[in-house]
Structure 1
Amino acid sequence: MSSNPLSLSIRAAQLKDLAALVELLSDSFYPNVGFMRWFLPLLRVGVYEDLRYRLRSSSASDYVCLVAVILPSTGEATARRDLVGTVEITFRSTSPFQFRSLPYPYVSNLAVYSDVRRRGVAQKLLGACESIALEGGFQDLYLHVLEDNHQARRLYEKAGYRVMQADPFWRGWLFQQPRRLLLHKRLAAPFSQTADAILQ
């Protein structure tokens, strides 16, 4: 597998991307092994409907889904796909019970096909999230990662994220799942790619 960076376009997801996004997210988060394969069709329908609703009803001021697409001039796009990565950024309220609570940018659902990992796709998607946050007047980004997801933790650490908080031990024990870590990054300077260019 090549480790050369890919030539990519990062843009806002569109309704025409739905099928490709469902394929990518299913491949990344729902392994097609064991008993999971029986539930995969149902999970895909749920992912499709959830994404379709968010893309149709959300405004760019509170939700953005980005996609990484291989530029056609590189000749690297396969016959199967050219959309190789995605990430979402939402602007959440610090407290849903406060009338004037401040929003904060939260990154989620970062997914890249395994055969193009370590080629700059995730870094470019994270960089685009930083541009959007900065142009919205924010200087902090947050995300969660599972404690045992060492590959993702290395990626985020390399990108400048640091552990801010961890779920209590009892929660992992009670639900028989790895703990979630809340990561934070303080943004210093804007990236060269502007949010306006990404969201067009």
Structure 2
Amino acid sequence: MNKINTKLALKYRFFHPCQQQPINPACWQFQIRTATPADLISVSQIIAESFHSQQGIWGWAFPLLRLGIYEDLRHRMASPPSRHICLVAFEATTGAVNHLVGSVELGVRYSDSWSQIGMGFPYLSNLAVHPQYRRHGVASGLLTSCEKISRDWGFEDLYLHVLENNHQARQLYFKLGYRVHKVESNWNKFFLKRSSQMLLHKHLSTDFTI
């Protein structure tokens, strides 16, 4: 069972990625806890690998993008809003060295730019899973933990963004009960040929069978 605890996970190193080994689903387990400042390097690496390519013409910019993610995380952890949390998933298999395999952030946002959303609402961001550990329930576990925290904060709704062309992520969110609230178009879609963002919403009082 997933648990939010305060154990410290082993950090990834920016320039020394972990060795890739096949995962045996029968014996592999993970747990979830609140992130600590000591996790920043690992979380930054996982997010960067999930959202930015190290290959191609822009591969040279990957270390700079990763550093920017690190600094943003460090700033939020140093002075977090009253309702903000970063969760990390770490490998907890017996006999293995614990290390981070995924992360997510949850906070309360205040905005009047999205129609039909109240003054304050929980918003999920930076959901990322290490490539080696995808499709093993890590993302679902992180999402479920965020939903529980949102309920504990007194909310019944949760929002997040996903790119319209990110079909794998959309499939996961729809499976977990998220629905399209709004498709946001902007000039980047036309001039830079970037995908539109979809604002998804889930009513947390509704139970879904996975």
Give the TM bin, normalised by the shorter chain. Answer: 0.7 to 0.9
Match of 1:148 among 165, 169, 173: 165
Deviation at 1:94, TM superposition (A): 2.7
Paired position in structure 2 for 1:55: 77
2:89 counterpart (68, 90, 113): 68
2-structure distance, mates of 1:110, 1:5: 24
Per the TM alignment, residue 56 of structure 1 is displaced from its structure 2 partner at its CA by: 1.0
Q: Counterparts of 1:53 and 1:20 in 2: how far apart (Å)?
A: 16
Residues 72-92 of structure 1, C-alpha deviations (whole Å, 9 max, x = no match): x43455xxx720000111100
Distance in 2, matches of 1:170 and 1:44, equals 26
Deviation of residue 36 (structure 1)?
A: 1.8
Partner of 1:8: 30
Bigger relative contact order, structure 1 or 2 (CA pairs below 8 A, ≥6 apart)? 1
User: Is 2:99 the counterpart of 1:82?
Assistant: yes
Q: Structure 1 runs of 4+ off > 4 angstroms?
A: 1-6
SS in structure 1 opposite 2:47? helix
Tell me the matched-pair count. 181
Residue segments in structure 1 that go unaligned for 5+ positions in a row = 191-200
Cα-to-partner distance string for 1:16-57 (whole Å, 9 max, x where unaligned): 001111111111111101122211121122111111111111
Partner of 1:132: 149
- TM-score, length-scaled by structure 2: 0.79
Q: Which has the higher helix share?
A: 1
* Deviation digits for residues 141-175 of structure 1 (CA, Å, limit 9, x no counterpart): 00011111000000001110011110237662244
Amino acid corresponding to residue 174 of structure 2 in structure 1: E
Q: TM-score, normalised by structure 1?
A: 0.82
1:30 maps to which residue? 52
The two structures, once aligned, show a CA RMSD in angstroms of 2.2
CA contact (8 A) 1:30 1:36 kept: no
Partner letter of residue 112 of structure 1?
A: V
Q: Structure 2: 5+ residue runs without aligned partners?
A: 1-21
Residue-by-residue CA offset, 1:90-132 (whole Å, 9 max, x unaligned): 1000339xxxx72100011100012211111001100110011
Shift in alpha-carbon separation, 1:123–1:176, aligned structure 2, 3 A: same
Cα distance in 1 for residues equivalent to 2:199 and 2:80: 25
Contact 1:85 1:121 in 2 (8 A): yes
Correspondence for 2:14:
none
Report the AA paired with residue 50 of structure 1: D
Pair 1:42-2:59 in alignment? no
Superposition pairs of residues 165-184 of structure 1, within 5 angstroms:
165-168=182-185, 172-184=189-201
